[in-house]
Amino acid sequence: MYLTSLVALTAGKQLNELELVYVSQNSLVQELRAECQTQADTIQQLSSKYKGDNKQLKRDNAALSRQLDKTRERLGLMEGHEIDHEKVHGKLRQKLSELDEENRLLTRQASVTHNERVSLQWYRDELIYD
């Protein structure tokens, strides 16, 4: 009987210890589940924020790409205009040079004509007074 009581007492003690371990482990599992849920919520928030930021960056990138393409197109047009302007300036310089040369010739002709007129006037005056 004593042995049976001792066995029953020992079994009861072990049962109480097992229940304490069970309760302790169950409490730990509940805490871990709560922490996992908190971490999952945090991950979900970060994921949503990342997706939103990523979408905004893609929109910004697309807008900047369009702006860059337009700028490149304008640059190409400006380079084309620059070449046209250089051609026009070259033609204008050539025409100015031609006009300068023509002006020099006309100035020489006018000088020669003036000199001839002066000579003829002098000669006429000589004829009249002689």
Q: What's the pTM value of the predicted model, to 2 decimals?
A: 0.47
Signed CA dihedral, 81, 84, 86, 92: sign only? negative
Q: Label residues 43-73 b or e (16+ Cβ within 10 Å = b).
A: eeeeeeeeeeeeeeeeeeeeeeeeeeeeeee
pLDDT of the chain along its 130 residues, tens only?
555 655 555 666 777 788 888 899 999 999 999 999 999 999 999 999 999 999 999 999 999 999 999 999 998 888 877 778 888 888 999 999 999 999 999 999 988 888 888 888 887 777 777 6
62 Cβ contact partners less than 8 Å away, ≥ 6 residues apart? none
